[in-house]
Amino acid sequence: MKKRSERFWQGVVIAAAVLSPLFLVAAAQNKAPSLPQGNAKAGKAIFDQNCSLCHFPNQTTTKIGPGLKGLFKNKTLPVSHKPTTVANVLHQVLNGNPSAKPMPMPAFKSKFSKKDLANLIAYLKTL
């Protein structure tokens, strides 16, 4: 017959073994792709050319997509309500949303370099 404390520690070890990969996966998903240092001024030019058609930078009112004023100051994103992380914003920019209403948001995956993305994020953080 095993001692009670031995069982307890076995339980702890098994729980740790089961849970730790889950934590690693969660940590990996939260991690933003590594980007070079961004320049907000260069990012503004990218925004003006590619995003301002559908997004106001200085209001939260919807144009075609949601106004992005205060984007990174809010805990959650305006439409999906996912947490406001660089990774989630990049995901939206890279993949767009083909089923967005009233008009799909285009994917910018093939359009922006890493440097462009870093500049854009730096600008979005100033809104």
In the complex, the residues that contact ligand HEC under the rule CB under 6 A are 50-51, 53-55, 64-66, 77-80, 82, 89, 92-93, 97, 100, 103, 105-106, 108, 120
Nearest to 45 by CA among 126, 116, 110, 125: 116
Q: How far is the CB of 112 from ligand HEC (least distance, A)?
A: 7
Q: How far is the CB of 11 from ligand HEC (least distance, A)?
A: 40
| CB-nearer residue toward ligand HEC: 7 or 111 | 111
Give 10's Cβ-side CA count (13 Å radius).
6
| Rounded Cα distance, 55 and 108, in Å | 15
